[in-house]
Amino acid sequence: MKTSKSEIAYLILSIILIAVAGGTYFVFGHKTTESSPVTKTQQSSSSSDSSEDLVVHAEALLSDLEANPSRKALTLTQEIVDKLKDDSKKKELQTRLEAVATEVGNQETAERAVSEAEADQNTTKVEQAQTMVDTLTNEAKKNELQNRLNAVQEAINQTAAQSSVSSYSAEANATYASQTADTSTNYSEVSGQ
C-alpha cells in the first residue's frame, strides 16, 4: 500500500505535536505541584477574609430584603446565611430573616385575598382582604393593596347604588301603573260606562 506525500506530512506533524504537548506537560506540570503549599496557605488566610466578606454580604442582602421583601430575595439571602460559620452572627441574621419571611408570607396572603376580592367583588371577600392588608408592615405594599381594595369596594358600592335605583324605578313604575289603572276605573265609573 502506497501512502501519499500529504499523509506522510500529517503523520510527521501529528508526532511533533504530541511530542511538544508531552514536553510541555513534563516541564510545567511539576511546577504547579511545587507551588501548591503556598496556595494552601493563601487559601487558609483568605478563608477568614472570605468568611468576613460573607457576613458583610449577608447583612447587605438582608438590609435590602427588609426594605423590599420578596420570595426570591428571601431564598437567596437564606442560602448566604446558611453558609456562615460564626454561630452568633448566623443566629442574629436568622432572626431578622425569619421576621422578613413572616412579612413576605403576609404579603403573599394579602395579595391572594385582594385578588379574590377583585374577582368575586362581594363585601365578605373585601372584609377578609382588608384584614390581611392591615397586618402588613411594608407601607408601599400596604398602600398598593389598599388602593386595589378601595377600587373593589367602590365598584361594589356603585353596583349596589345602581341596583337600588333600578329597584326603585321598577317600584315607581309599578305604582304608577297601579294608579293609572285605578284612575281609569274611576273615570269609567264616573262617566257611567
What tens digit of pLDDT does each residue of 108-139 get? Answer: 999 999 999 999 888 899 999 999 999 998 88
Domain boundaries, the chain: 49-191
Strand, coil or helix: 49: helix
Q: Is the pTM of this model over 0.75?
A: no
Q: What residues in the chain have per-residue pLDDT under 50? A: 32-46
d(CA 71, CA 69): 7
The helix/strand/coil state of 69 is: coil
